[in-house]
């Protein structure tokens, strides 16, 4: 999944999580935390793999063995400091990143291609695309029908965000 797909899935996951808890849709710092969380595994792994520090663009930041303890601590510290909503949004969006990266394999029952989630218990896979700059990969994806779902998801997420923003603006104006 590309960054725009991760952004959309992260936003929608946090929005659904918040609606399920009878909370408003994410705005402000909660929205920012969701957007950062949606990219977090790639922000860790992709640059390090591109510059040869990590062998794979799906290893350290994509490992549940590494990230789950970090995320648990983050939520604990966030709640202790009064930023629990933001920390929770970051965690939910980060977890959605793993769903985005494994959705095809999950649907196909291809458990072997999800071994990166258990790095370092399983060796990291060397992906050919890790040597290609991310912005080049995104540009090459434009017009490729395999990515239409991600772009449609992004359009839905943007539409929900925009309607929410306009509703919030109108509500403030009526006060």
Q: What is the pLDDT of residue 125?
A: 84
- For residue 19, what pLDDT band results from cuts at 50, 70 and 90? very high
- Whether the pLDDT of residue 49 is over 80: the answer is yes
Structural domain for 166, as ranges:
1-172
Quick check: pTM over 0.95?
no
Average pLDDT over residues 94-115: 95
Flag whether pLDDT at 144 surpasses 90: no
Q: Which two tokens stand for residue 63?
A: 């490992």
The set of residues, in sequence order, having a beta carbon less than 8 Å from that of 110 and lying 6+ positions away, is 104
Using 50, 70 and 90 to split pLDDT, how confident is the model at 59?
A: very high
Burial of residue 50 (CB within 10 Å: 0-12, 13-18, 19+) is: middle
What lies within 8 Å, CB to CB, of 63 at 6+ separation is 116, 117, 118, 119, 120
- The mean pLDDT of 83-88, rounded to a whole number, is 97
Kindly give, in sequence order, each residue whose CB lies less than 8 Å from that of residue 78, ignoring residues fewer than 6 positions away: 84, 86, 87, 88, 90
- Number of domains within the chain: 1
Of residues 46 and 83, more confidently modeled: 83
């Amino acid at each position: 999944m590309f960054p725009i797909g991760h952004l959309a899935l992260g936003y929608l996951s946090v929005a659904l999580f918040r609606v399920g808890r009878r909370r408003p849709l994410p705005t402000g710092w909660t929205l920012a935390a969701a957007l950062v969380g949606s990219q977090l595994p790639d922000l860790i792994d992709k640059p390090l793999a591109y510059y040869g520090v990590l062998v794979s663009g799906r290893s350290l930041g994509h490992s549940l063995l590494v990230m789950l303890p970090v995320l648990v601590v983050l939520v604990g510290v966030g709640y202790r400091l009064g930023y629990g909503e933001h920390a929770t949004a970051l965690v939910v969006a980060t977890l959605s990143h793993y769903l985005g990266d494994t959705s095809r394999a999950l649907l196909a029952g291809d458990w072997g291609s999800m071994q990166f989630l258990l790095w370092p218990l399983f060796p990291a896979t060397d992906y050919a695309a890790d040597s290609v700059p991310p912005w080049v990969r995104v540009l090459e994806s434009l017009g490729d029908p395999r990515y239409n779902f991600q772009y449609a998801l992004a359009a839905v997420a943007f539409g929900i965000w925009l309607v929410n923003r306009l509703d919030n603006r109108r509500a403030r104006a009526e006060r």
